[in-house]
Amino acid sequence: DAGVIQSPRHEVTEMGQEVTLRCKPISGHDYLFWYRQTMMRGLELLIYFNNNVPIDDSGMPEDRFSAKMPNASFSTLKIQPSEPRDSAVYFCAWGRGLYNEQFFGPGTRLTVL
């Protein structure tokens, strides 16, 4: 999917557990975005990075959420502790910043029981 690998594709966990979602974008991008999609709230931007530096994390719902980008080809989104309301599909996307177009990965479907 558009040069983005996300893992795992599906994750089922119990409330209180730590969850780590991974994203490997293609090289040569400028921006890396994390989104969450639910039926109720639609697509929400959680955080984005520019050249591996977090630029805007105002969409991160709580301190339980954290994201890192240690290098240009890898990013993680961590939820600790997880709660049932975190159940959603989480997308990673990359952008070149030229026309602001973004290219999405296939997503990780997270279910917190």
Partner 1 sequence: GEDVEQSLFLSVREGDSSVINCTYTDSSSTYLYWYKQEPGAGLQLLTYIFSNMDMKQDQRLTVLLNKKDKHLSLRIADTQTGDSAIYFCAATNYGGSQGNLIFGKGTKLSVKP
Residue 75 in tokens: 């990013």
**Cα gap 92→24, rounded to integer Å:** 9
Indicate the residue among 37 and 73 with the shorter CB distance to partner 1: 37
Indicate the residue among 45 and 78 with the shorter CB distance to partner 1: 45
Count Cβ atoms below 10 Å from residue 85 Cβ, excluding itself: 11
**Which of 25, 102, 110, 112: binder of partner 1 (CB under 8 A)?**
102
User: Which residue type, as a one-letter code, is found at position 46?
Assistant: L
**Cα gap 20→39, rounded to integer Å:** 22
3-state secondary structure (DSSP) of residue 85: helix
Binding track, positions 19-58, relative to partner 1; x by CB under 8 A? -----------xx-x--------xx-x--x-x----xx--
What is the binding site for partner 1 (CB under 8 A)? 1-2, 4, 30-31, 33, 42-43, 45, 48, 50, 55-56, 91, 93, 95, 97, 99-107
